[in-house]
Structure 1
């Protein structure tokens, strides 16, 4: 959340909006390297790059109106899809690398060469397997495939669609590790309904799943990077229904939907989110900061408003920004209640 009296510093750059980032870090910094090919009529826009603010326990004087209450006891997970053939959750824990290959600043997925990136992912998979031998680890690559922009572009939607080739490339990388793939969308002023149909060509593959980032879902004329966006349960329900229909149409194992969240208002009317028989739902704690702040955010906005499964993000650089801070270890994350089943590294 944004603390009272703070603003989001902006830089002018030619390229992608950098999600989940902060000023002054080595690689998870504002901006991106270069413009990318699109499949829409948009031309690459000069982007006002953004800063994703730190995880925080939402102080009482917050201008965002968020509040903290004691987290409830762990709620039982209702998942009709869990017994379907090929269901990943809760039988495996997903460990994902996040980013975009066209930017060294959006996450580990694009920061280093593909072979080195996959080798580093191997190391994380081994660490998580050692921390919880009872739960197999499923590696994943989480590609930011529709990126928010600081300028409207020809479509006026403040979003850029990546090329088909980029999705195909990341899916090919993932195949080298028997990894699954998430295609993530930052819709800007577009809509979930407008962006999902193009993704069907990849979502019909059994190993490809979906992520949506409410931070960049802009309402009421807002510009990405100027304020934190929001998604309502009705928009999320469209996505879960879309995924459920694809699973049925192509006779696929259950699809997974990951929704990013680090403030209360990023997701509204969570009690109205509809679970589907062929979709597994992850509410993912997406904030950065020291371990105290990250745990507070997880309890306040993920555990307090449970849907189904939970996720937890680890930032290689932003989480150690505060002097003396250390990354959460797998064992420390597994001490959280509920235990996250989706782990993402940026």
Structure 2
């Protein structure tokens, strides 16, 4: 990138000094000072303007995006894109918590065996599309207490994140880092994950349910919300990481199970460096889950679609059951390319 600097300031400054030297002695104390001030003004006004680094980064991102658009138009996707060439099947939770999902609920070896079985079920249900395993780890978690800064969220330790990434490597899986901002916001929380997201295997999830800063209510008291501008911030954040580190496209997964969880969907601006999945995250009666998918995912598509299955909550109350891979593929349109188990 080239920066342009003004080069005419030397000439202007020279003219100002010559004007000052041409004054008579009797006027030196008055007009001489004015001329000197004029020279100083000229010198100051013609100095190089301060460099707006943020503006330059935005301009570079726009140029990169145009380049990415041109490649995507020729090939359909950027090189290294995971979707739509795979179906991602993810286990969700936190390895330090038994209550957040299947990822941490069972002992590691038992969980891994169960995961292998699920992957085989999905591959058998649709042999035409290779199944890609994923771990979806809640990495910044909404809390029941405000904490020292009053933001009602807590980030996992580095050791927990690294151990989870190692689990993913063992399974030849990709890893999603999921963010629940509490009373904070994406602008303050996502930069904490930058170093991890430089890893090609690491992707991002954002959860509007726990974005409660504008409501000022305790997590789990109300369902939070993101606007299109928040989703666009996450897209731009990931796109910059992709460009600056020469990475294949990232995936951004957005949880959703009500209309108000994501507002102004039509204003979401896609970027070929980031593949966006809208994931129907509701639990319970399979018929209601299908209706929610149709209302909030099928009717307001963004790019790719996802569907969530709950080992515990989908089966309550009986006779409800957790939908099988075959049911998901036959009942939902479009067929989701991201499947998440909690």
1:210 and 2:208 matched? no
| Cα distance per residue 1:202-231 (max 9 Å; x no partner) | 100000000000000002312211111000
Which of these residues, 217, 223, 227, is aligned with residue 228 of structure 1? Answer: 223
TM-score when scaled to structure 1?
0.76
1:128 and 2:122 matched? yes
| Structure 1 Cα separation of the partners of residues 327 and 239 of structure 2 | 34
Following superposition of structure 1 onto structure 2, how do residues 94-113 of structure 1 map, counting pairs within 5 Å?
Answer: 94-113=88-107
Structure 1: gaps of 5 or more residues:
1-77
| Cα distance per residue 1:87-136 (max 9 Å; x no partner) | 11000000000001111011000001122212211111110000000000
User: 1:260 aligns to what SS in structure 2?
Assistant: strand
Which of these residues, 321, 333, 337, is aligned with residue 333 of structure 2? Answer: 337
CA contact (8 A) 1:313 1:343 kept: yes
User: 1:227 aligns to what SS in structure 2?
Assistant: coil
| Structure 2 Cα separation of the partners of residues 137 and 316 of structure 1 | 20
Which of these residues, 243, 247, 251, is aligned with residue 242 of structure 2? Answer: 247
Structure 2: gaps of 5 or more residues:
1-71
User: 1:83 aligns to what SS in structure 2?
Assistant: coil
Higher mean C-alpha deviation, range 161-170 or range 133-142? 161-170
| Cα distance per residue 1:58-79 (max 9 Å; x no partner) | xxxxxxxxxxxxxxxxxxxx99
Following superposition of structure 1 onto structure 2, how do residues 177-196 of structure 1 map, counting pairs within 5 Å?
Answer: 177-196=171-190
| Structure 1 Cα separation of the partners of residues 196 and 119 of structure 2 | 25
| Structure 2 Cα separation of the partners of residues 240 and 117 of structure 1 | 32
| Structure 2 Cα separation of the partners of residues 217 and 279 of structure 1 | 22
CA contact (8 A) 2:77 2:272 kept: no
User: 2:110 aligns to what SS in structure 1?
Assistant: helix
CA contact (8 A) 2:91 2:102 kept: yes
| Structure 2 residue aligned with 1:305 | 300
Q: CA deviation at 1:297?
A: 0.7
| Structure 1 residue aligned with 2:40 | none
Which of these residues, 247, 257, 262, is aligned with residue 262 of structure 1? Answer: 257
Larger Rg belongs to: 2
Q: CA deviation at 1:84?
A: 1.8
Distance 1:79 1:342, change over 3 A: farther
CA contact (8 A) 1:146 1:162 kept: yes
User: 1:265 aligns to what SS in structure 2?
Assistant: helix
Following superposition of structure 1 onto structure 2, how do residues 1-346 of structure 1 map, counting pairs within 5 Å?
Answer: 83-218=77-212, 219-335=214-330, 336-346=332-342
Q: CA deviation at 1:163?
A: 0.6
| Cα distance per residue 1:271-308 (max 9 Å; x no partner) | 00110120000000000011101101101111111101
TM-score when scaled to structure 2?
0.77
Distance 1:113 1:82, change over 3 A: farther
| Structure 2 Cα separation of the partners of residues 240 and 289 of structure 1 | 31
The number of aligned residues is 269
Q: Which has the higher contact order (CA 8 A, sep 6+)?
A: 1
| Cα distance per residue 1:167-214 (max 9 Å; x no partner) | 111110011111000000000010101001110111000000000000
CA contact (8 A) 1:159 1:189 kept: yes
Greater share of helix residues, 1 or 2? 2
